[in-house]
Structure 1
Amino acid sequence: MNQIPGRWRRILATGATTVGARGASLLVNLLVLPVVSRSLGKEEFGLWLNLTSTFTMLSVLDFGVGLAVMGQVSEARGADQGASTRRVVTTALVLLTGAAVLLVVFCGLFAFTLDWNGLLGADRVPTAVVDQLVLAVGVTAALSLPLTVAGRVYYALGRGHVAALSTSVGVLAQAVALLTVAALCPDLRWFTAVYLATSLLAGLVPTLLLAARIRDARPRLRDVDRDTCGRLGREGAQLFFLTLMGIVSFKSDSLVIGHYLGADQVAAYVLPFTVYAAVPTVAGAFLTPLWASYREAWARGDQAWVRSAYLRSVGLLTAAGAVAASALVPVTPWLLRGWVGDHAAIPSSGLLAALGGYAVIMCTTTAVAVFLNGAGQLRPQLAVGAVMTVVNVGASVWSVHRFGLSGPLWSTVLTQTLIVLVPSMVVARRRLAHPRTVLPEALRTAG
């Protein structure tokens, strides 16, 4: 029981710094996007938005290993198994380094063979430039894969503030670099290059700090472990497919709009979406440390704390999403004009309503999903996620022709609510009614 107050203190401290990092990222977007928009043509700006969004998607696609590391290090911490932490970290780094090599090869094969101009709706940008930028995005995303491990370990150890502060440093460096490019050489290639370089820096800093300061997490090749590799692979594969389905479902709307309506329409969707997506992003900042704490609490047998934390998180995040969305809807046109300028495309009432619904639904869904991840309930999420992904993509393509910019987002809101959220809440209720440890036998007996 004496673990409970300390656990909440760590969650709140980590959550506060994570909110600060997310807030810094949001402020950078508010500051930088209008500058980049004015520096580039409409189509180039739309292409840049798609490229940076794609990099963000690829850089978190670490095949689920990073999230599996966070869960398994949390379990090892709950079972007081320091040696297991080093095995998990070392094995994960080896796995992701191999994945990075494969991704580089893949990018080399396809960067110059596919029609990226047509796929990205950027017909007026030179083909050579688009191909080079696609290759740069893919290679940088590959290099960032092993760098995701350190941040996850810090969250698992209750020191997520280190990762959050490193993210803030990277975001500020990115803002300075982008503004410098805008002042000295406003070119699509330079904007993309500095964005990628500073993003890589944000992952490198916590990796170096982890190796230097935390002995139990310092990687050593002799600690690569076959059983650990299997556990990371199994859990990571499930988390990877969950992440992949989420990306396809939630991040593909801008690609659908760019392909069917043209790259010049992407900004009209992405800019207001960026404002509303900040709601679940900021509100969910506390959920990353909560995920790790769920795993630790299950390992220690603190099921009462788990139940209380789950109910609080769902209630608070749903309320926060509703309040924030209600406040944003009437002021969005003013915000966009103040942000981008008088030439900003003002969202229709249909798109505004969809954006508000998205913010609320994603706050609730994220809270439920974090609990299910911490409780080891991945297979039910895979089942509903697979159905939602197929239905949502098809519905987005159908609706963009009939309802324009708001169509894909309405498809996302409806399918997420009916296919994912409702069944997930049923699974969570059943899991709470039948508590059991999720700590693997291998960790319980590890020395």
Structure 2
Amino acid sequence: MNAILNKYLSRTNARSAKAVKNIFSSFAIKGVSIGVNLALVPLTIDYLGETKYGIWLTIGSMLGWINFFDVGLGHGLRNKLAESFAHGNMDKAQTYVSTAYISISALSLAVFGVFAITNQFIDWNVLLNIPPDITIGEDLGTITLAVFLMFSVQFVLQLINSIFLGNQQPAKVSFNAMVGNLFILAGVFVLMKYYDASLFYIALLSSGVPVLVLAGVNIYNYTHGFKAFYPRFGSFDFSSLKDVLNLGVKFFLIQISLLVFIGTTPFLISNFLSPKLVVPFNIAFRYFGVLTMVFSIIMSPFWSAYTEAYAKRDIVWIQRSIKRLVRLWLLFVGAAVLMLALSNWVYALWVKDVEVDFSISLCMMIYVVLNAFGNIYIMFLNGVGAVRMQMITGLVGMVIFFPLSYLFSVVMDLGVAGIVIATTICSLYGPLIAPFQVKKILNKAEETPADKI
């Protein structure tokens, strides 16, 4: 891996050196995270049983939607911080951080209040399509309320990640997630040893641990390295909020489309097909997600690096980086094909009694490969804030996703694979359109101001 990265990422440039450092750190961290996530699946299935595990996956994915409802403030903050850092404007950076924390706190409180009221009138057994003959033995309303509360707090605390990302330190974000996963894994072992199967305990463990970890990260960093950015009520600024939201709203609408494509898939499988079929989908998603994770590690430093490079008009570095990432992507295509060939064997070793249809694995591999290619270009477009076309295509995809999913999975009887096909079709902006946008922007960049492109 060292030889590959040395070949594709130059160390002569300080920006590249920082990217390489974060990539190496992230690989070590993600290696642990992958092992933990792979271990969590069979352990949690053993503890809860397949049906309860499928229900937990569906609840977790649905309530996790709150992470998308920051009106794009997280991504907008990331870009604005990267610009402020590039120009050495630390006072402006502190204003952006304070404004974002206060705004997200108010939004999170309001969203939780609405959910707490609405939750009283939701029959979760009906919503999750749980057959009458299956007895859960637990109040799903109480479970969802507790999880939503944890997610609401996490909603605010995870803004610290935007500062890490804006400062081109994605490895620290990965490290925080890894620590949380390790504690969750330890907690599952404790539950298996001392407690009977309980959705509530798993839900509280999985949603509460990240909150505790992020709380510690916030306290430590705002009393040490990020003292200059410590959120203060007196630093709230409406004009700064407008600056962030002008870009953030576009990111928000893109996030909504991603929510539909990714977050609703377990829900659609549960309702169109069966809650049990969420499990094989999740296994294939996590298996090929290892490949996505590896490619994302390499890509992660480039978003904010592109923001800085574009602000300084270092077009040569941008073009060189994109070309090298495309070459690297070709290696991942080969890795994806190999993973597909070995998938049934790996599943048998990993989760034993759970059967994953080959069609699900094939469709998941195609989705992952195309998505990785598109993200090479989307990363640059996100970094420079050129996301209008991505927003429009995302909204169009959001409209057609549900009927396409029903058509392929039910009408054409393709099952879970049909929903993955629908997701792939609705995500074609990245591999088909984004490359042409990037080429157009870079061709104009040297003679046209950034705000005119």
Distance in 1 of aligned mates of 2:121 and 2:331: 46
Q: Are the structure 2 counterparts of residues 193 and 430 from structure 1 closer, same or farther at C-alpha, using a change threshold of 3 Å?
A: same
Contact 1:295 1:438 in 2 (8 A): no
1:14 aligned to which of 9, 12, 22? 22
Distance in 1 of aligned mates of 2:17 and 2:357: 41
Partner residue, 1:155: 165
Per the TM alignment, residue 288 of structure 1 is displaced from its structure 2 partner at its CA by 2.6
Distance in 2 of aligned mates of 1:410 and 1:129: 35
Partner residue, 1:209: 220
Bigger mean CA deviation after superposition, 281-290 or 353-362: 281-290
Structure-to-structure mapping, 1:132-281, within 5 angstroms = 132-185=142-195, 186-213=197-224, 214-281=226-293
Matched, 1:112 2:120: yes
Contact 1:178 1:195 in 2 (8 A): no
Distance in 1 of aligned mates of 2:451 and 2:183: 40
2:399 aligned to which of 369, 387, 390? 390
Secondary structure at 2:433's aligned position in 1?
helix
Distance in 2 of aligned mates of 1:333 and 1:225: 55
Q: Are the structure 2 counterparts of residues 372 and 255 from structure 1 closer, same or farther at C-alpha, using a change threshold of 3 Å?
A: same
Partner residue, 1:443: none
Per the TM alignment, residue 96 of structure 1 is displaced from its structure 2 partner at its CA by 0.6
1:361-400 deviation digits (Å, cap 9, x = unpaired): 1111222111111122111111111112222222112111
Distance in 1 of aligned mates of 2:194 and 2:137: 25
Bigger mean CA deviation after superposition, 327-336 or 48-57: 48-57
TM-score, structure 1 normalization: 0.92
Contact 1:166 1:205 in 2 (8 A): no
Amino acid at match of 1:357: I
Per the TM alignment, residue 4 of structure 1 is displaced from its structure 2 partner at its CA by 6.7
Distance in 1 of aligned mates of 2:389 and 2:424: 20
1:71-105 deviation digits (Å, cap 9, x = unpaired): 11100011111111100111100011011101111
Matched, 1:82 2:82: no
Amino acid at match of 1:377: A
Per the TM alignment, residue 28 of structure 1 is displaced from its structure 2 partner at its CA by 1.5
Per the TM alignment, residue 319 of structure 1 is displaced from its structure 2 partner at its CA by 1.7
Matched, 1:315 2:327: yes
2:129 aligned to which of 116, 121, 130? 121
1:339 aligned to which of 331, 350, 360? 350
Amino acid at match of 1:168: M
Bigger mean CA deviation after superposition, 213-222 or 66-75: 213-222
Distance in 1 of aligned mates of 2:322 and 2:113: 42
Matched, 1:287 2:295: no
1:372 aligned to which of 365, 381, 384? 381
Secondary structure at 1:158's aligned position in 2?
coil
Bigger mean CA deviation after superposition, 189-198 or 115-124: 115-124
Bigger mean CA deviation after superposition, 361-370 or 12-21: 12-21
Bigger mean CA deviation after superposition, 161-170 or 99-108: 161-170
Contact 1:40 1:188 in 2 (8 A): yes
Bigger mean CA deviation after superposition, 21-30 or 42-51: 21-30
Amino acid at match of 1:421: P
Per the TM alignment, residue 112 of structure 1 is displaced from its structure 2 partner at its CA by 2.1
User: Between Structure 1 and Structure 2, how many residues are aligned?
Assistant: 435
Q: Are the structure 2 counterparts of residues 373 and 162 from structure 1 closer, same or farther at C-alpha, using a change threshold of 3 Å?
A: same
Per the TM alignment, residue 127 of structure 1 is displaced from its structure 2 partner at its CA by 8.3
Contact 2:50 2:276 in 1 (8 A): yes
Contact 2:184 2:209 in 1 (8 A): yes
RMSD value, Cα: 2.1
Partner residue, 2:433: 423
Contact 1:76 1:82 in 2 (8 A): yes
Contact 1:384 1:420 in 2 (8 A): no
Q: Are the structure 2 counterparts of residues 60 and 206 from structure 1 closer, same or farther at C-alpha, using a change threshold of 3 Å?
A: farther
Amino acid at match of 2:424: V
Distance in 2 of aligned mates of 1:299 and 1:284: 23
Distance in 1 of aligned mates of 2:29 and 2:82: 22
Q: Which consecutive unaligned segments of at least 5 residues does structure 2 have?
A: 1-9
Amino acid at match of 2:399: V
1:254-284 deviation digits (Å, cap 9, x = unpaired): 2111112121121121111211122122211
Amino acid at match of 1:383: I
Contact 2:81 2:163 in 1 (8 A): yes
Q: Are the structure 2 counterparts of residues 195 and 437 from structure 1 closer, same or farther at C-alpha, using a change threshold of 3 Å?
A: farther
Partner residue, 2:74: 66
Distance in 1 of aligned mates of 2:333 and 2:106: 43
Distance in 1 of aligned mates of 2:240 and 2:321: 29
Per the TM alignment, residue 35 of structure 1 is displaced from its structure 2 partner at its CA by 1.3
Distance in 2 of aligned mates of 1:163 and 1:249: 24
Secondary structure at 1:345's aligned position in 2?
coil
Q: Which consecutive unaligned segments of at least 5 residues does structure 1 have?
A: 441-447
Contact 2:79 2:166 in 1 (8 A): yes
Secondary structure at 1:145's aligned position in 2?
helix
